[in-house]
Amino acid sequence: MRIKDASALVAGGASGLGAATVRALHEAGAGVLIADLNADKGEALAAELGERASFVAANVMEPEPVQAAVEAAAKAHGGLRISVCCAGIGWAQRTAGKQGPHDLEIFHNVLKVNLIGTFNVLRLAAAAMVNNDPDSGGERGVCVNTASIAAFDGQIGQVAYAASKGGIVGLTLPAARDLAGRGVRVVTIAPGTFDTPLLAALPEEARTELGAQIPFPNRLGEPEEFAALARHVVENPMLNGETIRLDGALRMPPR
């Protein structure tokens, strides 16, 4: 998929992995719509990038705001052809412990944001993409999801998070098969431990320890590295129905 002059939607694009992806796609010539709950950061990023960048407030769990974002992106810069979903939350709690069983409402909320929210963006973006004119290779669009290596190596206390990210991995291939006849690709990236705002709150010693667990490179991943892979996924038409681990050969221990 050619990025230049295409329209891209990045859900969860105001910070972290999403913001880095917004920058990468914008630099490559796309018009980028940033969809996020954090209006301050989203509007600031759009203002910084200037032309071909805009922001809309949207909760990925809610159909109407996401549909509005999709429609706005579809009307700009040659139609919506790129969708990237980076929105998500985490929670640490054991299945059963001293405080009793895992909170069911919290488990439900993590799945609702991470899994259902991702699917909400995917289904609505894909529905808009299938109406695009195909490019010379027959492609109409590409949807990139964000899972986590927790989908494969979930740690103690990550039952809700791992389940939600495992669901994203599980839907990738059937979604790609669903959309193959319409020229829309679906690919998921499963990052390891990355230097995002969530980890920035940790003491430097803890951040260094996390990075030391990664075989090579022996450090935390950088959001720009995630963004570089997202860009490559968009540009490489043979990447479809796949989940790509981006983790420096890290396999998470039980705790």
Q: Is the pLDDT of residue 201 over 70?
A: no
Whole-number Cα distances in Å, 231 to 49, 75, 122, 208, 251: 17, 22, 17, 28, 25
pLDDT at 45: 98
Alpha carbon 213 to chain centroid, angstroms: 24
| pLDDT (tens digit per residue) in 241-255 | 999 999 999 998 888
| pLDDT (tens digit per residue) in 121-178 | 999 999 999 999 999 999 999 999 999 999 999 999 999 999 999 999 999 999 999 9
Gyration radius from the chain CA atoms: 18
Count CA within 13 A, CB hemisphere, residue 46.
Answer: 22
Three-state secondary-structure class, residue 189: strand
Enumerate the active-site residues: 161
Q: Is the pLDDT of residue 199 over 80?
A: no
d(CA 187, CA 76): 23
Q: Per CATH, the architecture of 7-195+222-246 is what?
A: 3-Layer(aba) Sandwich (3.40)
Q: Is the pLDDT of residue 206 over 80?
A: no
pLDDT at 196: 85
- H-type helices in the chain, by residue range? 16-27, 39-49, 63-74, 104-111, 117-129, 150-153, 159-180, 197-200, 204-212, 223-235
